Structure 1
């Protein structure tokens, strides 16, 4: 998977003594709620899974609660424009940061599609597996199996969310959408009833900070970026723009659908490059 890099790298992260205090005061309760609710989710899933299988009538709301609380602890505004899709199908969005996981889960019950290596990351990997993330390898030899997995999850009513750009950015641009993962929607079993909803994610940096403050790209270290966010004197905001859902059967190819989604996401993005 390729990684996007900016021509101008951000300034080195410097944490003041008060910044460390803020990081602790925000990070400790966030960690307690996140991993405490992870334990609760796993217990509930022990009952939920044998009864409901792929369906998860309870645990997604535990995930949503954690994600909403994250913004409370961070002191970060979370704004929404548009109507969330009720049709069966998938959601696609531009990708700026690990914060996207919290941002998009806070308002809608969704299941992320992620690269396989994320499953091995400490902390995030455990959370991703527990919350039903679909892990994929970008290997053509596994394409058929991954397409079948997509079909099973979509048929079960799961709303899968993926980032067609294929990488995260500095949050100041929308990259061209790759069409590969859209192929699963065009199977005979799915295309006539599935919709795809494009969503634009816009981060607003804290006052006085670099506009790219929340962007996470290139060789940035996750721990350092998390610490910077927790230590910020005053956090900014994130805005979600939900666009009109697109019916898969209205498009004659995955590339046409991917392009339409990209154009919708880009239309609400300020000064997209």
Structure 2
């Protein structure tokens, strides 16, 4: 059964006029050039990095962060950071509203995403995800033990992982219940002192646009959504809110932890229905 979130009230995409179309083409060309150039630099540095550091990546995450910060500049979307991200290995959990989450979170801190396995097979996006060290998981309770092992291996390498516990994206106005399954990885004794941090993504739509403008959910096609964002002359903004980190030993079980972090994310969401 799919966990995809749907809404009966989907706002129409605003038309992109002639000027907007020119801007969209220019932005798209610059973004594509940036991403391809960044990927080539990352792969080259990874050839040098891997023999020395193995699965640890002390250099290449800086390339990903620089590319994502530049991408937001090209799009014209303002972003600001509230709070401080953890600097040690650990885990971040965030609400999920859009493909733009990837740019906003990578721009704010160096991390590794946890994504559903299907993304690995997506043309273009899958290649980028693999190159940047994404952890791919199968969202199935029968695979829970295997997913936990994947998380544990990456945490031992000192990686900072980020996952979306809702399991799907929404319109950006709400936070769905956090699924506690993947939190099991953080309850091994060797991770007693490990930090977890909740992150809230607040999107502000461009002036005069529906407040769900940046949301991408359900069966929405990527093409029209991307074109609409690229062709918007005056963009909105994204706020990335880093909540105070918590330590795993402060929670009786994964369900209690998931619920508290969910509450933190929800309480800081600016656009509430």
Q: Same fold, TM exceeding 0.5?
A: yes
- Extract structure 1 runs of 4+ deviating beyond 6 A: none
Structure 1: tracts of 5 or more residues without a match: none
- Which residue number corresponds to residue 112 of structure 2? 111
C-alpha distance in 1 between matches for 2:124 and 2:227: 15
- Which residue number corresponds to residue 71 of structure 1? 72
Q: List aligned pairs for 1:179-198, cutoff 5 A.
A: 179-190=180-191, 192-198=192-198
Q: List aligned pairs for 1:34-49, cutoff 5 A.
A: 34-49=35-50
SS of the equivalent of 2:190 reads coil
**Do residues 264 (structure 1) and 264 (structure 2) align?**
yes
Shift of residue 118, structure 1, vs aligned partner? 0.5
Shift of residue 227, structure 1, vs aligned partner? 1.0
Alpha carbons 1:119, 1:129 under 8 Å: kept? yes
**Do residues 32 (structure 1) and 46 (structure 2) align?**
no
C-alpha distance in 2 between matches for 1:237 and 1:189: 39
C-alpha distance in 1 between matches for 2:123 and 2:15: 24
Cα gap change, 1:6 to 1:13, in 2 (>3 Å)? same
- Which residue number corresponds to residue 5 of structure 1? 6
- Which residue number corresponds to residue 171 of structure 1? 172
Q: List aligned pairs for 1:1-273, cutoff 5 A.
A: 1-190=2-191, 192-270=192-270, 272=272
Give the count of matched residue pairs: 272
Alpha carbons 1:26, 1:230 under 8 Å: kept? yes
Cα gap change, 1:40 to 1:87, in 2 (>3 Å)? closer
**Residues 21-59 of structure 1, C-alpha deviations (whole Å, 9 max, x = no match):** 010111111110111110111111112112111210110
**Residues 164-211 of structure 1, C-alpha deviations (whole Å, 9 max, x = no match):** 111001111111111111010001222x12111001000000001110
SS of the equivalent of 2:118 reads helix
